[in-house]
Amino acid sequence: MDYNEPIFNDALFYQKRKHGKYRVVAAPSIGAAISDTHAHIQMLPNPALALAKALVWGVDFVCDICDVCEDAETAFENLSAYQAEAIPLAHDLVASTLLLPDDDPVVAMTKEQIRERVSHEGWDDGVHMRIAVGCHPHNAKDFDGEALSRLRTLLSDPRVCAIGEIGLDYHYDFSPRPVQVEVFRTQIRMAHELGLPISLHIREAHDEALRILTEEGFPTSGVLLHCFNLDPQTLEPWLEHDCFVAFGGPLTFKASDYVRASARLVPKDRLLTETDAPYMAPEPMRGVVCGPQHTVYTADVLARTLGYEALDARAELFGQLMDNAKGLLDRDPLDWQCIPAKLIEKD
């Protein structure tokens, strides 16, 4: 992934080719607003531009993920500015794109898609965003008393919608496994205390994570399996606990038939889309810095995987998925008993 890739100041999608070259690729027809339930916006080279492109392409709801030991300060301080800057940038992107010549059929088709998108009232209201904050298992070794206190304070911000991403990563083992387990348990207990959902990062540790959650109790406000990329057998016990399941770029990879088989198992009222931006760009955008606008490619593959081809059928599917995302991650803080004084007094 090249963070120094060219900046394209239009709304087209550019696929990376060999020798530093790029070519325009078609965007799928989605037919409804969609959501990116997991993106690290503050990690993108140009967060406002990425949100502007998301706005143009109908990614109307984004959950920004940040880490209390890493980048939470940047996210909380700058997210509102990114959102505000994105609106005029989206207008500029549309204008620049519509001025392009129609010589390339993909460009001509993309311009028609954009005209359709911006013809709807309210398209430029901005991307609605919430924040999830927690300690990633990679950073568990740094989660000391000060970090715990800082996390409690951040969780009092009304923009916060979940504790995450949290969990276990037994692939890289950047933090000792016993420490990962301890920090995971601590944050599950915080979710119970505050009535917050949790967003999970689990890698090569699904059985262990399931055991811990069974012992601690699955938070009643919801459990989200982020970026699920495994087989149906691994997924089934999580579905038995009514977990939400989010699919990102791996769903689109050519060799990922087992991931698409998993997607078919998920009840429609538990299904979500995401990117994990700036990572895990979907086909045909692999190799570029992933942004929330790339959710359209994952959403397209998900719809086709589930047999939704016609635009009206897709609109119904994505309407359900947007309801899922907002029902889990866009509730009023009062619904969580999320009272700042309660948080601070526990330090």
Alpha-carbon distances of 163 from 169, 189, 329, 330, rounded to whole Å: 17, 11, 10, 13
What's the pLDDT score for residue 20? 86
Q: How many helices, marked H, and strands, marked E, lie in the chain?
A: 11, 10
What's the pLDDT score for residue 338? 40
The more confident residue out of 29 and 235 is: 235
Question: pTM for this one?
Answer: 0.94
The stretches of the chain forming alpha helices (DSSP H) are 47-56, 72-98, 105-118, 145-154, 177-194, 206-216, 232-239, 257-265, 295-305, 311-329, 340-344
Query: Does the pLDDT value for residue 336 go beyond 60?
Result: no
Query: Does the pLDDT value for residue 240 go beyond 50?
Result: yes
Those residues with Cβ within 8 angstroms of residue 272's Cβ, 6 or more apart along the chain or in another chain: 35, 37, 224, 244, 245, 246, 247, 321, 324, 325, 328
Backbone angles phi, psi at 160, to 5 degrees: -70, 135
Domains of the chain: 33-87+128-344 (3.20.20.140)
Short-list 29, 25, 3, CA closest to 14: 25
3-state class of 255 per DSSP? Answer: coil
Query: Among 63-77, 134-148, 301-315, 328-342, whose mean pLDDT is lowest?
Result: 328-342
The structure tokens listed for 33 are 């607003």
What's the pLDDT score for residue 345? 36
Query: Does the pLDDT value for residue 333 go beyond 70?
Result: no
What's the pLDDT score for residue 120? 84
Q: What is the tens place of the pLDDT at every residue in 272-287?
A: 999 999 999 999 999 9
pLDDT range class, residue 121, cuts 50, 70, 90: confident
The angle that helices 206-216 and 177-194 make with each other, rounded to 10 degrees, is: 40
- Taking the C-alpha atoms of 66, 219, 229 and 253 in order, what is their torsion angle to the nearest 10 degrees? -60
Q: How far apart are the two ends of the chain, measured CA to CA in Å?
A: 40
What's the pLDDT score for residue 335? 54
Q: What is the tens place of the pLDDT at every residue in 81-115?
A: 999 999 999 999 999 999 999 999 999 999 999 99
